[in-house]
Copies of this chain bind each other. A is one copy, B any other.
Amino acid sequence: MQKLSTVQKRLRKFAEERDWEKFHSPKNIAMALSVEASELLECFQWLTEKESHELSQEQIAAVTDEIADVQLYLLLLADVLNVDVCTAIDQKIAKNEERYPADKVRGSARKYTDYK
């Protein structure tokens, strides 16, 4: 697997070669990311939860395409802001493990929602 930073270098080069950095303010990239996340959501829009587990090949291809778009804008945003994604997710997982202790959450009557 290539490193995330390698992908970010490719994205930077891609933008430079097209003179597109001027569009890439953090604000604009966050907008684009949110729009792509909605396009991903749209793939599941009228499906039941059950159906969303049983996608056709064609649906998987569409979803995969949108997942890639979200991932690329996320890496671009992190790159522009100089945020390290790997450190960020490590910290977040640790935070979540502390916030939602398995022994208290499991079997609890309180729903997942209450913990969000």
Contact = CB atoms under 8 A, between A and B. Distances in A.
A105 B96 CA distance: 37
Contact of A116 (B46, B77, B102): B46
Interface string A21-44: 001011110111111111111111
A81 B69 contact: no
Contact of A63 (B67, B83, B116): B83
A2 B89 CA distance: 11
Contacts of A64: 83, 88
Contact of A41 (B17, B30, B72, B97): B30
B27 A44 contact: yes
Contacts of A63: 26, 81, 83
Interface of A: 1-4, 7, 10-11, 14, 17-20, 23, 25-28, 30-50, 52-53, 55, 60, 63-65, 67-72, 74, 77-78, 80-81, 83, 85-86, 88-89, 91-93, 96-97, 100, 102, 105-107, 111-113, 116
